[in-house]
Amino acid sequence: MAPLNGQTGGGQAFGRDPNAILNECRDIDRGIDSIESNLERLRFLQTRSLDDPDASQNTATNRELDTLSSETMTLYRNFAQRIKTIKSQPDSGSPRNAPQVGKIDRKLKAAINQYQNVEADFRKKLQAQMERQYRIVRPDASDAEVREACSDTSNQQVFSQALLQSDRRGQAQSALRAVESRHQAIQKIEQQMVELAQLFQDMEALVVQQGAAVEVIEQQGTETVNNVGQANVEIHGAIEKARSRNRKKWWCLLIVGK
Protein backbone atom coordinates (compact mmCIF):
# COMPACT_ATOMS: atom_id res chain seq x y z
CA MET A 1 0.00 0.00 0.00
CA ALA A 2 1.29 3.45 -0.89
CA PRO A 3 1.94 6.07 1.78
CA LEU A 4 -0.96 8.41 2.46
CA ASN A 5 0.74 11.23 0.61
CA GLY A 6 0.94 9.12 -2.53
CA GLN A 7 4.67 9.60 -2.89
CA THR A 8 7.35 7.00 -3.45
CA GLY A 9 9.94 6.40 -0.79
CA GLY A 10 12.94 7.70 -2.66
CA GLY A 11 11.70 8.78 -6.07
CA GLN A 12 12.61 7.35 -9.45
CA ALA A 13 15.83 8.10 -11.36
CA PHE A 14 14.13 8.09 -14.77
CA GLY A 15 17.27 9.13 -16.61
CA ARG A 16 19.49 6.40 -15.16
CA ASP A 17 17.32 3.38 -14.43
CA PRO A 18 15.83 1.66 -17.51
CA ASN A 19 13.16 0.09 -15.29
CA ALA A 20 12.27 3.29 -13.48
CA ILE A 21 9.06 3.97 -15.38
CA LEU A 22 7.79 0.41 -14.98
CA ASN A 23 8.69 0.41 -11.28
CA GLU A 24 6.92 3.70 -10.76
CA CYS A 25 3.85 2.43 -12.63
CA ARG A 26 3.69 -0.64 -10.41
CA ASP A 27 3.98 1.48 -7.28
CA ILE A 28 1.22 3.82 -8.45
CA ASP A 29 -0.93 0.83 -9.40
CA ARG A 30 -0.67 -0.53 -5.84
CA GLY A 31 -1.30 2.91 -4.41
CA ILE A 32 -4.50 3.37 -6.39
CA ASP A 33 -5.69 0.04 -4.95
CA SER A 34 -5.33 1.57 -1.49
CA ILE A 35 -7.96 4.15 -2.42
CA GLU A 36 -10.51 1.35 -2.57
CA SER A 37 -10.29 0.77 1.18
CA ASN A 38 -10.64 4.51 1.75
CA LEU A 39 -13.82 4.61 -0.30
CA GLU A 40 -15.32 1.70 1.60
CA ARG A 41 -14.61 3.47 4.88
CA LEU A 42 -16.02 6.71 3.48
CA ARG A 43 -19.28 5.02 2.56
CA PHE A 44 -19.56 3.58 6.06
CA LEU A 45 -18.88 6.93 7.73
CA GLN A 46 -21.29 8.75 5.42
CA THR A 47 -24.08 6.36 6.37
CA ARG A 48 -23.28 6.74 10.06
CA SER A 49 -23.20 10.52 9.69
CA LEU A 50 -26.63 10.56 8.08
CA ASP A 51 -28.04 8.39 10.88
CA ASP A 52 -26.51 10.50 13.65
CA PRO A 53 -29.14 12.77 15.26
CA ASP A 54 -26.33 15.25 15.93
CA ALA A 55 -25.61 16.77 12.51
CA SER A 56 -22.85 19.11 13.68
CA GLN A 57 -19.47 18.92 12.00
CA ASN A 58 -17.80 18.41 15.39
CA THR A 59 -19.02 14.87 16.00
CA ALA A 60 -16.41 12.09 16.02
CA THR A 61 -17.95 10.58 12.89
CA ASN A 62 -17.90 13.82 10.92
CA ARG A 63 -14.36 14.63 12.04
CA GLU A 64 -13.16 11.22 10.87
CA LEU A 65 -15.12 11.60 7.65
CA ASP A 66 -13.55 15.00 7.02
CA THR A 67 -10.03 13.69 7.72
CA LEU A 68 -10.42 10.62 5.52
CA SER A 69 -11.92 12.68 2.71
CA SER A 70 -8.98 15.10 2.83
CA GLU A 71 -6.47 12.23 2.86
CA THR A 72 -8.15 10.61 -0.13
CA MET A 73 -8.07 13.88 -2.07
CA THR A 74 -4.35 14.12 -1.31
CA LEU A 75 -3.86 10.66 -2.79
CA TYR A 76 -5.64 11.64 -5.97
CA ARG A 77 -3.61 14.82 -6.34
CA ASN A 78 -0.27 13.11 -5.82
CA PHE A 79 -0.98 10.11 -8.03
CA ALA A 80 -2.10 12.48 -10.78
CA GLN A 81 1.15 14.44 -10.40
CA ARG A 82 3.25 11.27 -10.51
CA ILE A 83 1.52 10.12 -13.67
CA LYS A 84 2.10 13.55 -15.17
CA THR A 85 5.81 13.21 -14.35
CA ILE A 86 5.93 9.78 -16.00
CA LYS A 87 4.21 11.05 -19.14
CA SER A 88 6.78 13.83 -19.43
CA GLN A 89 9.57 11.26 -19.86
CA PRO A 90 10.72 10.54 -23.43
CA ASP A 91 10.55 6.76 -22.83
CA SER A 92 6.97 6.83 -21.53
CA GLY A 93 5.64 6.08 -24.99
CA SER A 94 8.03 3.29 -25.84
CA PRO A 95 6.51 -0.12 -26.69
CA ARG A 96 7.93 -1.41 -23.41
CA ASN A 97 6.46 1.27 -21.16
CA ALA A 98 3.38 2.57 -22.96
CA PRO A 99 0.97 -0.23 -21.95
CA GLN A 100 1.70 0.22 -18.23
CA VAL A 101 1.54 4.00 -18.47
CA GLY A 102 -1.83 3.71 -20.18
CA LYS A 103 -3.04 1.23 -17.58
CA ILE A 104 -2.37 3.44 -14.56
CA ASP A 105 -3.69 6.49 -16.39
CA ARG A 106 -7.03 4.79 -17.02
CA LYS A 107 -7.08 3.23 -13.56
CA LEU A 108 -6.68 6.58 -11.81
CA LYS A 109 -9.36 8.14 -13.99
CA ALA A 110 -11.71 5.31 -13.08
CA ALA A 111 -10.84 5.76 -9.38
CA ILE A 112 -11.57 9.49 -9.64
CA ASN A 113 -14.90 8.71 -11.22
CA GLN A 114 -15.69 6.23 -8.45
CA TYR A 115 -15.05 8.86 -5.79
CA GLN A 116 -17.20 11.34 -7.68
CA ASN A 117 -20.04 8.83 -7.62
CA VAL A 118 -19.59 8.20 -3.88
CA GLU A 119 -19.67 11.92 -3.13
CA ALA A 120 -22.56 12.62 -5.52
CA ASP A 121 -24.64 9.94 -3.80
CA PHE A 122 -23.80 11.36 -0.37
CA ARG A 123 -24.66 14.85 -1.57
CA LYS A 124 -28.06 13.66 -2.79
CA LYS A 125 -28.81 12.05 0.58
CA LEU A 126 -27.66 15.14 2.48
CA GLN A 127 -29.92 17.32 0.33
CA ALA A 128 -32.90 15.06 1.01
CA GLN A 129 -32.17 15.14 4.74
CA MET A 130 -31.91 18.94 4.69
CA GLU A 131 -35.30 19.18 3.04
CA ARG A 132 -36.85 16.93 5.68
CA GLN A 133 -35.30 19.04 8.43
CA TYR A 134 -36.61 22.25 6.90
CA ARG A 135 -40.13 20.84 6.84
CA ILE A 136 -39.88 20.62 10.62
CA VAL A 137 -39.49 24.39 10.57
CA ARG A 138 -42.22 24.92 7.98
CA PRO A 139 -44.49 21.90 7.55
CA ASP A 140 -46.72 23.88 5.17
CA ALA A 141 -43.85 24.89 2.84
CA SER A 142 -44.21 24.07 -0.84
CA ASP A 143 -41.62 21.92 -2.60
CA ALA A 144 -40.27 25.02 -4.35
CA GLU A 145 -39.91 26.88 -1.04
CA VAL A 146 -38.08 23.94 0.54
CA ARG A 147 -35.65 23.72 -2.38
CA GLU A 148 -35.01 27.46 -2.26
CA ALA A 149 -34.35 27.45 1.47
CA CYS A 150 -32.01 24.46 1.33
CA SER A 151 -30.09 25.58 -1.75
CA ASP A 152 -28.35 28.40 0.10
CA THR A 153 -28.47 28.67 3.88
CA SER A 154 -26.59 31.97 3.72
CA ASN A 155 -30.02 33.44 2.98
CA GLN A 156 -30.77 34.02 6.65
CA GLN A 157 -33.95 35.95 5.89
CA VAL A 158 -35.63 32.77 4.69
CA PHE A 159 -34.82 30.99 7.93
CA SER A 160 -35.65 33.96 10.14
CA GLN A 161 -39.10 34.18 8.61
CA ALA A 162 -39.57 30.44 9.02
CA LEU A 163 -38.62 30.61 12.68
CA LEU A 164 -41.04 33.48 13.28
CA GLN A 165 -43.83 31.54 11.61
CA SER A 166 -43.11 28.31 13.47
CA ASP A 167 -45.00 27.41 16.62
CA ARG A 168 -42.26 24.93 17.56
CA ARG A 169 -39.33 27.27 18.01
CA GLY A 170 -37.11 24.80 19.88
CA GLN A 171 -37.48 22.18 17.18
CA ALA A 172 -37.15 24.84 14.51
CA GLN A 173 -33.85 26.14 15.82
CA SER A 174 -32.47 22.62 16.13
CA ALA A 175 -33.57 21.84 12.58
CA LEU A 176 -32.01 25.05 11.32
CA ARG A 177 -28.66 24.15 12.85
CA ALA A 178 -28.87 20.71 11.24
CA VAL A 179 -29.65 22.23 7.83
CA GLU A 180 -26.75 24.67 8.10
CA SER A 181 -24.36 21.88 9.09
CA ARG A 182 -25.47 19.66 6.20
CA HIS A 183 -25.11 22.60 3.87
CA GLN A 184 -21.48 23.02 4.92
CA ALA A 185 -20.88 19.34 4.11
CA ILE A 186 -22.45 19.81 0.68
CA GLN A 187 -20.24 22.82 0.02
CA LYS A 188 -17.14 20.75 0.69
CA ILE A 189 -18.38 17.98 -1.59
CA GLU A 190 -19.00 20.51 -4.36
CA GLN A 191 -15.48 21.91 -4.00
CA GLN A 192 -13.96 18.44 -4.11
CA MET A 193 -15.97 17.45 -7.16
CA VAL A 194 -14.77 20.54 -8.99
CA GLU A 195 -11.17 19.71 -8.09
CA LEU A 196 -11.57 16.07 -9.12
CA ALA A 197 -13.05 17.15 -12.42
CA GLN A 198 -10.10 19.46 -12.98
CA LEU A 199 -7.66 16.64 -12.19
CA PHE A 200 -9.46 14.45 -14.69
CA GLN A 201 -9.37 17.19 -17.31
CA ASP A 202 -5.67 17.81 -16.72
CA MET A 203 -4.93 14.13 -17.17
CA GLU A 204 -6.91 14.09 -20.40
CA ALA A 205 -4.78 16.98 -21.65
CA LEU A 206 -1.54 15.13 -20.97
CA VAL A 207 -0.18 12.81 -23.63
CA VAL A 208 2.77 10.49 -23.48
CA GLN A 209 5.58 10.76 -25.99
CA GLN A 210 5.40 8.98 -29.36
CA GLY A 211 1.93 9.28 -30.84
CA ALA A 212 1.69 5.74 -32.25
CA ALA A 213 1.98 4.21 -28.79
CA VAL A 214 -0.63 6.63 -27.47
CA GLU A 215 -3.12 5.46 -30.10
CA VAL A 216 -2.67 1.85 -28.96
CA ILE A 217 -3.23 2.84 -25.34
CA GLU A 218 -6.34 4.83 -26.19
CA GLN A 219 -7.82 1.96 -28.20
CA GLN A 220 -7.29 -0.38 -25.26
CA GLY A 221 -8.83 2.10 -22.83
CA THR A 222 -11.86 3.21 -24.88
CA GLU A 223 -14.38 1.18 -22.88
CA THR A 224 -13.10 2.45 -19.51
CA VAL A 225 -13.05 6.08 -20.63
CA ASN A 226 -16.55 5.79 -22.08
CA ASN A 227 -17.82 4.35 -18.80
CA VAL A 228 -16.23 7.23 -16.91
CA GLY A 229 -17.84 9.72 -19.23
CA GLN A 230 -21.26 8.08 -18.88
CA ALA A 231 -21.02 8.05 -15.10
CA ASN A 232 -20.21 11.75 -15.11
CA VAL A 233 -23.49 12.42 -16.93
CA GLU A 234 -25.28 11.34 -13.75
CA ILE A 235 -23.12 13.65 -11.68
CA HIS A 236 -24.20 16.61 -13.82
CA GLY A 237 -27.72 16.32 -12.42
CA ALA A 238 -26.42 16.90 -8.90
CA ILE A 239 -24.24 19.73 -10.09
CA GLU A 240 -27.19 21.56 -11.64
CA LYS A 241 -28.75 21.76 -8.19
CA ALA A 242 -25.75 23.64 -6.78
CA ARG A 243 -26.07 27.31 -5.93
CA SER A 244 -26.32 29.51 -9.02
CA ARG A 245 -23.33 31.60 -7.97
CA ASN A 246 -21.14 28.53 -8.35
CA ARG A 247 -22.43 27.46 -11.76
CA LYS A 248 -19.43 28.73 -13.73
CA LYS A 249 -17.14 26.46 -11.74
CA TRP A 250 -19.13 23.40 -12.75
CA TRP A 251 -18.48 23.71 -16.50
CA CYS A 252 -15.27 21.73 -16.01
CA LEU A 253 -17.42 18.75 -15.06
CA LEU A 254 -19.29 19.07 -18.36
CA ILE A 255 -15.93 19.08 -20.13
CA VAL A 256 -14.92 15.91 -18.29
CA GLY A 257 -18.01 14.13 -19.51
CA LYS A 258 -17.13 14.76 -23.17
Q: Residue 140: is it exposed, middle or buried by C-beta count within 10 angstroms (0-12/13-18/19+)?
A: exposed
- Residue 2 has what pLDDT? 39
Task: Give residue 37's pLDDT.
Answer: 87
Neighbours of 99 (CB within 10 A): 14
Measuring CA to CA, which residue among 77, 111, 96, 112 is closest to residue 25?
Answer: 96
Q: Does the pLDDT of residue 238 top 60, yes or no?
A: no
84: pLDDT strictly greater than 80: yes
pLDDT-based confidence at residue 4 (cuts at 50, 70, 90): very low
The pTM assigned to this predicted structure is: 0.69
User: Once rounded to an integer, what is the mean pLDDT over residues 10-31?
Assistant: 82
Q: What is the pLDDT at residue 102? A: 94
Q: What is the pLDDT of residues 138-195, one digit of tens each?
A: 788 888 888 777 776 555 555 556 555 655 556 666 766 777 778 788 888 988 988 9
